[in-house]
Amino acid sequence: MCASMPVRSFTRPFPCRSASCLAFPPHQFALKQDMYQWQHAVKSVKRAPSLFGSGKGVMILTDEVIFFGDQIILFGLKILCRSTDAIKAMETHRCQTADMGLSERQFKELRELVYHECGINLHNGKRQLLQARLSKRLRRTGIKSVQEYLDVLEKDQEELIHFLDAVSTNHTLFFRESQHFQVLHSSHRNIWCAACSSGEEPYSVAIDCLEKGFRPSILATDISTNVLDMARRGVYPREKTRMMPTHLLRKYFQKGQGQWEDFIRVKAGVRKMVTFGRFNLVSGPLPSRKFDVIFCRNVLIYFDSRVKERVINRLYGLLKGNGYLIIGGAESLSSLRHRFQYMKPSIYRKRGTSGIFH
């Protein structure tokens, strides 16, 4: 592998904290949502020269990135170099790993575990998804069977968190469903993005508030530690901003240069407005303060009615007297028992109070 290289990609270059021999900085790999943190990923690098008859050294970093000599492939993000041999090596590596026979009993046990821990309902139609995510965890941990992994989940809280990270779905864009931001007002000093994913939502909220002339305190939480790590860094593929007005992109983001030309970074002034933390909507200890606005968008669709009611009523108690709950455009509270007052599609207000909605 090549020697470490200094990286100067943005106006303020990223520090390359790793002493490893990889030419690309750790932030490159953090951009793939379901990847390990860099320091964890470096530990999982394996040398597998036996995969090639030529005897050339092959380095595999998790199941998403392959190094073959000086060629690098990032699966699912951006292909930097192509190597047929490297792709074949990865497929061989996958085929030689854990036994993925998932019995009906094991599927039921995992489904009940996920439902109990975070309220996500994995019906039979999600079995293939669960098997794919489970396979990824078996490969990364080196565990050889589903039953052995189930035993680990009972004892290892850290691995349980990684498993829940793998199962949860995280997809969002900057200024997605931005019509919801019309409710934001200068009197709103405390805002909570309760299912923030990789950070695009809270940063979008922060930018909208700045454009309206005020700077609230924003709490942003998610059940996935992986996406929270990405959110704190504030580095994203440029395509994530395709719904954002150009003048805001120029004002609040730094543009990548060189190998980073397809990426942007949220400026420090915006990042400082947001505090990130892990939170379980279903059972986590509630925040100690109350909020003017709570965003809980595009997450209720993964819950059944019982869990939805539990979540929205927990959120109700955390709103101030004139507080607003914002849910996703494809979501509704119409069939649920709750105390919210309907205002507009996706926008609800704490009942029995005077609001500022226009």
Q: Give domain status of residue 355, yes or no.
A: no
Same domain membership, residue 226 and residue 207: yes
- pLDDT of 94 above 50: no
Q: Give domain status of residue 339, yes or no.
A: yes
- Domain around 302: 178-350
Q: Give domain status of residue 20, yes or no.
A: no
Mean pLDDT of 16-35: 34
Given 147, 167, 187, which residue is the final one in a domain?
Answer: 167
What's the pLDDT score for residue 160? 84
Q: Could you tell me the pLDDT band of residue 157, with boundaries at 50, 70 and 90?
A: confident
Q: Could you tell me the pLDDT band of residue 232, with boundaries at 50, 70 and 90?
A: very high
Same domain membership, residue 137 and residue 46: no
Query: Cβ neighbours of residue 229 under 8 Å, at least 6 residues apart?
Result: 30, 37
Same domain membership, residue 122 and residue 190: no
Minimum mean pLDDT range among 132-146, 203-217, 314-328: 132-146
Dump pLDDT digits (tens) for 40-83. Answer: 333 333 333 333 233 333 333 333 343 333 333 333 333 333 34
* CATH assignment at residue 158: 1.10.155.10
Three-class DSSP labels, the chain: CCCCCCCCCCCCCCCCCCCCCCCCCCHHHHCCCCCCCHHHHHHCCEECHHHCCCCCCEEEECCCEEEECCEEEECCCECCCCCHHHHHHHHHHHHCCCCCCCCHHHHHHHHHHHHHHHCCCCCHHHHHHHHHHHHHHHHHHCCCCHHHHHHHHHHCHHHHHHHHHHHCCCCCCCCCCHHHHHHCCCCCCEEEECCCCCCHHHHHHHHHHHHCCCCCEEEEEECCHHHHHHHHHCEEEHHHHCCCCHHHHHHHEEECCHHHCCEEEECHHHHCCEEEEECCCCCCCCCCCCEEEEEECCCHHHCCHHHHHHHHHHHHCCEEEEEEEEECCCCCCCCCCCCEEEEECCEEEECCCCCCCC
Q: How many domains is the chain built from?
A: 3
Dump pLDDT digits (tens) for 122-146. Answer: 878 778 878 888 888 898 888 888 9
- pLDDT of 15 above 60: no
Mean pLDDT of 184-212: 96
Which of the two residues, 93 and 31, has the higher pLDDT score? 93
Q: Give domain status of residue 2, yes or no.
A: no
Q: Which residue has the tokens 């669709």?
A: 301
Same domain membership, residue 300 and residue 219: yes
Same domain membership, residue 85 and residue 35: yes
Q: Are 241 and 37 in contact (CB under 8 A)?
A: no
What's the pLDDT score for residue 352? 54
Q: Give domain status of residue 18, yes or no.
A: no
Which of the two residues, 268 and 173, has the higher pLDDT score? 268
- In terms of average pLDDT, the best of 156-160, 247-251, 260-264 is 247-251
Same domain membership, residue 288 and residue 200: yes
Same domain membership, residue 68 and residue 185: no
Q: Catalytic residue, from 34, 63, 165, 222: name it.
A: 222
What's the pLDDT score for residue 351? 76
Q: Could you tell me the pLDDT band of residue 156, with boundaries at 50, 70 and 90?
A: confident
Which of the two residues, 89 and 39, has the higher pLDDT score? 89
Q: Give domain status of residue 258, yes or no.
A: yes
Dump pLDDT digits (tens) for 271-300. Answer: 999 999 999 999 889 999 999 999 999 889
Q: Catalytic residue, from 34, 63, 111, 133: name it.
A: 133
Sort strands 65-68 and 71-74 into parallel, antiparallel or unpaired: antiparallel
Which of the two residues, 126 and 212, has the higher pLDDT score? 212
Percentage of residues in the chain having pLDDT higher than 70: 69
Mean pLDDT of 205-228: 95
Same domain membership, residue 234 and residue 315: yes
- pLDDT of 149 above 70: yes
- pLDDT of 342 above 60: yes
Same domain membership, residue 227 and residue 277: yes
- Active site includes 208? no
What's the pLDDT score for residue 171? 66
Q: Give domain status of residue 80, yes or no.
A: yes
Same domain membership, residue 289 and residue 222: yes
What's the pLDDT score for residue 212? 97
Same domain membership, residue 88 and residue 135: no
Q: Could you tell me the pLDDT band of residue 172, with boundaries at 50, 70 and 90?
A: confident
* CATH assignment at residue 340: 3.40.50.150
- Active site includes 265? no
Q: Give domain status of residue 9, yes or no.
A: no
Same domain membership, residue 190 and residue 319: yes
Mean pLDDT of 83-91: 47
Given 71, 95, 119, which residue is the final one in a domain?
Answer: 95
